[in-house]
Copies of this chain bind each other. A is one copy, B any other.
């Protein structure tokens, strides 16, 4: 039989760990606690449990890492999460800033058979509304090579391939300014001392602050 699904708390931890790694953020007790809006002592407790279950390796006072079973379980949740996000946008008229919260709950409630029907109805898509890759049913994921907008130099250009979906306000700000998936974006200049990045999108130019440029992933055509 298909082995039982982890509790929703466990699934949230696994997805959080996977998400931090995906964004290149250090997976510390503190970053996990902040991301999950939970106290550090709760994280300690759950990490010990995950290690017991063989889903992570844990070196006390140092880091946490997903094991292969842990990575697999994380991908399972992530697949559900992202398919649900896309489904809500495609079938129920949600916008990309509204779907994350809803999917964070539903990801634990949909059965395997329901999620496969959803996937089929959507044509087995590979990207969610934020450009995030949707893990396949077999647990494989393809991470598209992109660059953080923050790291691009003036003169560089490309198209918006992905947006980190944590902050709905930023997502609304972006959409409001025509900065959506697939938009062509060109870096015009970078103001010093942590100042904004001036970019052109279509006809318009925008000065984007650090919080925004740290959230936009750009596909640059001829990047070595």
Q: Interface on A for B, CB 8 Å cutoff?
A: 88, 91-94, 101-102, 105-106, 108-111, 114, 117-118, 121
The answer on a CB contact under 8 Å between B102 and A114 is yes
Residues of B within 8 A of A91 (CB): 91, 121
Distance (whole angstroms) from the CB of A81 to the closest CB of chain B: 13
Query: In the complex, which residues of chain B have a beta carbon less than 8 angstroms from the beta carbon of A108?
Result: 109
CA distance A118 to B102 in the complex (A): 14
- Separation of A101 and B101 alpha carbons in the complex (Å): 24
Looking at the assembled complex, report how far the CB atom of A131 sits from the nearest CB atom of chain B, in whole angstroms: 23
A93: chain B residues at CB < 8 Å are 117
Q: Please name all residues of chain B whose beta carbon is closer than 8 Å to the beta carbon of A110 when the two chains form the complex.
A: 106
Assembly CA distance A118 to B117 (angstroms): 17
Docked complex Cα distance between A105 and B115 (Å): 14
Q: Report the nearest B residue to A8, measured CB to CB.
A: B109
Complexed CA–CA distance, A109 and B110 (Å): 9
State A69–B174 Cα separation when bound (angstroms): 43
Complex interface: chain B residues within 8 A of A102 (CB): 111, 114
The 8 closest A-B pairs by CB, nearest first: A109-B109, A92-B117, A105-B109, A106-B109, A102-B114, A102-B111, A92-B121, A93-B117
Known: A91-B121, A93-B117. 14 other contacts (CB 8 A): A91-B91, A92-B114, A92-B117, A92-B118, A92-B121, A94-B117, A101-B111, A102-B111, A102-B114, A105-B109, A105-B111, A106-B110, A108-B109, A109-B109
Q: List 15 A-B contacts (CB under 8 A).
A: A88-B114, A92-B114, A92-B118, A92-B121, A93-B117, A94-B117, A101-B111, A102-B111, A105-B109, A105-B111, A106-B106, A106-B109, A106-B110, A108-B109, A109-B109
> Smallest Cβ distance from A145 to chain B, in angstroms?
35
Residues of chain B within 8 A of A101, CB atoms compared: 111
Query: How many Å from the CB of A117 to the closest CB on chain B?
Result: 5
Complex-state Cα separation, A117 to B117, whole angstroms: 20
